[in-house]
A and B are shown apart, each in its own frame.
Chain A
């Protein structure tokens, strides 16, 4: 038995036979031919192009039948092979420099792989995988090697490879490939993203994997613990057969709840919101009752310059249109702290989390702030817009932000540009001063959303990026729960909507407690919908309120966790929580 550790990127458990996938890897030497051989080299290049295009057309047709969403990749690869400039440069290499065809293909494509790999734009950097893929395909055809693929297996298989390319993952046999393990890659690698979207358990970044894993061996992928176990003992194997059954049962049961209306057994409806961070709505967005947090930083982080008002308007508009009648809570720029921009060099600060960040930065750079507010207001006629200010610490902050908003409205009115008159204005509650006097803030705003990550960090004076103080960051502490309860009461008596959009909002372990405290709106990543909705449909508000009372009466975080465990144990004797 051999246990290899890596990074689990797609949760689950898989048992199967190891298939060592070692696709063609181009080994090309710097070789030149005699001038009279150039025509022949050019001809073999043309032939390799034809056969590569033939393969790509077949793959495209196959994907159109089986998984049309993935077919585009093979069109794009055809575009690269027939690219005039690439083709011209390869032929020039052969004819004028007398390069061997494979060397010409390799050097031209490698040049562009380097250029695109250095792009600041992540969308463009992703194309490197496609160029590398095409480069291999052409050279493989030149060398007369047949294509290997992951498309046909007859047994449950664990694919073990150095790394996987787009054409490998697109054609992968999703019925029989039960797990993926790769030597290279990290949490955001191509393999990781695809494995997750297919729901195939995967572990990446396993050092010396290709040396250790023999083909045909029995293996277990435990992507809950991040381990690949090769040739497990019979006992361990049996244990995993059981674990796999449990996992499948629990996730199938949970996943059914992704679209279920979140109503407690005694009839309290909870609105489930979605946190998003891009102009494109993620999977399951159709099941969100509202967009509880639209982070706008991506526009600033993915761009190499300050995004224009027009570009922002386009992005906001597309989100508002996609959300339809559901409100979209747009949070204004929240940079500084751990989020920095290359093109906007700000002075170094001793304590960035206590520094000139988020709303404070916007106040210091009023033109940047107002451009964002105008863009948001312009987009407001395309949906239901709520504007939310982050890092509010005082009533002055709220009033000043509202003044900026009024001034942005005045700019638009003067220019005759329409905006919705019903844009609601709210704040993030993440600084303890706001929590302490929540009633005063409730009087000033239309709504608020609690950012539990920062609130916890500031309440306990713990830098959440510093692993050495991790244990002081207590999301289940009764002290934080008191804070939450106080905010809920203040907004409840002011009859202003309140939601929670921090990590806690999407943590199914916290759901009963939050509902019990009186929260009626929880916003989270869409991947948490199913688990949170499941909890809500299984509890009674009356019981949850009892849990919240007990948690408020507790003194330590451990006591609260024990209360929650006991609460869930009573609901599901078999479930594992916390």
Chain B
């Protein structure tokens, strides 16, 4: 298992469009990927689900923990962490 903590910086949070981009990215990897909202402690064991990501209600400035388990866990976590740190494709 490989884990990274990053902070969400795009102003509107992980809402529909960023969440959809995140899921599309996550689906490129075979590993099981989980996402945790460190502010509320709420966790999505499967981060390849847009609806579940929305239920995490991740707002701007929230720290999240990305973890993955599987053959490409390091690449998956690194890529998703970079995606979040760079503003979820919103800039």
Chain A residues close to B by CB (< 8 Å):
72, 75-76, 79-80, 83-86, 112, 115-116, 119-121, 123-124, 127, 130-131, 279, 303-305, 307-308, 310-311, 314-315, 318
Chain B residues close to A by CB (< 8 Å):
7, 9-13, 15-17, 20, 23, 39, 46, 48-52, 54-55, 57, 59-61, 87, 91
Q: Which of A85, A131, A279, A311 meets B49, CB within 8 Å?
A: A85
B21 to chain A, nearest CB (A): 10
Q: Within the assembled complex, what's the spacing in Å between the Cα atoms of A80 and B61?
A: 26
Of the A-B pairs whose beta carbons lie under 8 Å apart in the complex, a sample of 14, sorted by A's number, is A76-B16, A79-B50, A85-B46, A86-B49, A119-B54, A119-B55, A119-B57, A124-B57, A127-B15, A279-B11, A310-B61, A311-B9, A314-B11, A314-B60
B3 to chain A, nearest CB (A): 21
Nearest-CB residue, chain B, relative to A123: B15
Q: A127-B15, A305-B61, A314-B11 are in contact. List 18 more A-B contacts (CB 8 A).
A: A76-B50, A83-B49, A84-B48, A84-B49, A85-B46, A85-B48, A85-B49, A121-B57, A123-B12, A123-B13, A124-B15, A124-B57, A303-B60, A307-B61, A311-B9, A311-B11, A318-B11, A318-B91
CB–CB B46/A79 < 8 A? no
CB–CB A120/B49 < 8 A? no
Nearest-CB residue, chain A, relative to B50: A79
Chain A residue numbers with a CB within 8 Å of B51 are: 80, 83, 85-86, 112, 116, 131
Chain B residue numbers with a CB within 8 Å of A85 are: 46, 48-49, 51-52
Q: Within the assembled complex, what's the spacing in Å between the Cα atoms of A336 and B90?
A: 32
CB–CB B50/A112 < 8 A? no
CB–CB A311/B60 < 8 A? yes
Q: Within the assembled complex, what's the spacing in Å between the Cα atoms of A311 and B7?
A: 10
The majority secondary structure among interface residues of chain B is loop
CB–CB A305/B39 < 8 A? yes
Contacts A85-B52, A310-B9 known; A79 to B59 CB distance under 8 Å? no
Q: Within the assembled complex, what's the spacing in Å between the Cα atoms of A86 and B87?
A: 27
Q: Within the assembled complex, what's the spacing in Å between the Cα atoms of A121 and B55?
A: 10
Q: Within the assembled complex, what's the spacing in Å between the Cα atoms of A83 and B15?
A: 16
Q: Within the assembled complex, what's the spacing in Å between the Cα atoms of A130 and B50?
A: 12
CB–CB A121/B61 < 8 A? no
CB–CB B49/A127 < 8 A? no
CB–CB A84/B59 < 8 A? no
Q: Within the assembled complex, what's the spacing in Å between the Cα atoms of A120 and B58?
A: 11
Q: Within the assembled complex, what's the spacing in Å between the Cα atoms of A115 and B54?
A: 10
CB–CB B57/A307 < 8 A? no
Chain A residue numbers with a CB within 8 Å of B91 are: 318
A322 to chain B, nearest CB (A): 12
CB–CB A121/B46 < 8 A? no
Chain A residue numbers with a CB within 8 Å of B17 are: 72
Contacts A85-B49, A311-B60 known; A116 to B16 CB distance under 8 Å? no
Per CB-CB distance, the 8 closest pairs between chain A and chain B, nearest first, are A85-B49, A308-B61, A123-B15, A311-B61, A311-B60, A315-B11, A279-B11, A314-B11
A449 to chain B, nearest CB (A): 25
Chain B residue numbers with a CB within 8 Å of A318 are: 11, 91
Contacts A76-B20, A84-B48, A86-B49 known; A124 to B54 CB distance under 8 Å? yes
Q: Within the assembled complex, what's the spacing in Å between the Cα atoms of A315 and B55?
A: 23
Nearest-CB residue, chain A, relative to B46: A85
Chain A residue numbers with a CB within 8 Å of B54 are: 116, 119, 124, 127
A295 to chain B, nearest CB (A): 15
A116 to chain B, nearest CB (A): 6
Q: Within the assembled complex, what's the spacing in Å between the Cα atoms of A80 and B53?
A: 12
Chain A residue numbers with a CB within 8 Å of B39 are: 305
B56 to chain A, nearest CB (A): 9
Chain B residue numbers with a CB within 8 Å of A310 are: 7, 9, 61
User: Counting chain A CB atoms within 10 Å of each CB, which of B7, B11, B39, B87 scores highest?
Assistant: B11
Chain A residue numbers with a CB within 8 Å of B9 are: 310-311, 314
Chain A residue numbers with a CB within 8 Å of B57 are: 119-121, 124, 304
Chain B residue numbers with a CB within 8 Å of A308 are: 60-61
CB–CB B50/A83 < 8 A? yes
Q: Within the assembled complex, what's the spacing in Å between the Cα atoms of A86 and B53?
A: 12
CB–CB A79/B20 < 8 A? yes
Q: Within the assembled complex, what's the spacing in Å between the Cα atoms of A294 and B60?
A: 19
Chain B residue numbers with a CB within 8 Å of A124 are: 15, 54, 57
Q: Within the assembled complex, what's the spacing in Å between the Cα atoms of A72 and B15?
A: 14
Nearest-CB residue, chain A, relative to B23: A79
Q: Within the assembled complex, what's the spacing in Å between the Cα atoms of A258 and B50?
A: 40
Q: Within the assembled complex, what's the spacing in Å between the Cα atoms of A81 and B72?
A: 26
Chain A residue numbers with a CB within 8 Å of B48 are: 84-85
Q: Within the assembled complex, what's the spacing in Å between the Cα atoms of A347 and B13?
A: 30
Chain A residue numbers with a CB within 8 Å of B60 are: 303, 307-308, 311, 314-315
Q: Within the assembled complex, what's the spacing in Å between the Cα atoms of A407 and B10?
A: 27
Chain B residue numbers with a CB within 8 Å of A84 are: 46, 48-49
Q: Within the assembled complex, what's the spacing in Å between the Cα atoms of A84 and B52?
A: 10
CB–CB B23/A112 < 8 A? no
CB–CB B10/A314 < 8 A? yes
Q: Within the assembled complex, what's the spacing in Å between the Cα atoms of A311 and B54?
A: 19
CB–CB A116/B13 < 8 A? no
CB–CB A123/B16 < 8 A? yes
Nearest-CB residue, chain B, relative to A86: B51
Chain B residue numbers with a CB within 8 Å of A305 are: 39, 59, 61
CB–CB B20/A112 < 8 A? no
Q: Within the assembled complex, what's the spacing in Å between the Cα atoms of A313 and B54?
A: 24
Q: Within the assembled complex, what's the spacing in Å between the Cα atoms of A310 and B10?
A: 10
Chain A residue numbers with a CB within 8 Å of B55 are: 112, 115-116, 119
Q: Within the assembled complex, what's the spacing in Å between the Cα atoms of A303 and B51?
A: 20
Chain B residue numbers with a CB within 8 Å of A83 are: 49-52
Q: Within the assembled complex, what's the spacing in Å between the Cα atoms of A347 and B9?
A: 32
Q: Within the assembled complex, what's the spacing in Å between the Cα atoms of A83 and B19?
A: 12
User: Counting chain A CB atoms within 10 Å of each CB, which of B10, B20, B39, B54 scores highest?
Assistant: B54
B7 to chain A, nearest CB (A): 8
Chain B residue numbers with a CB within 8 Å of A116 are: 51, 54-55
A310 to chain B, nearest CB (A): 6
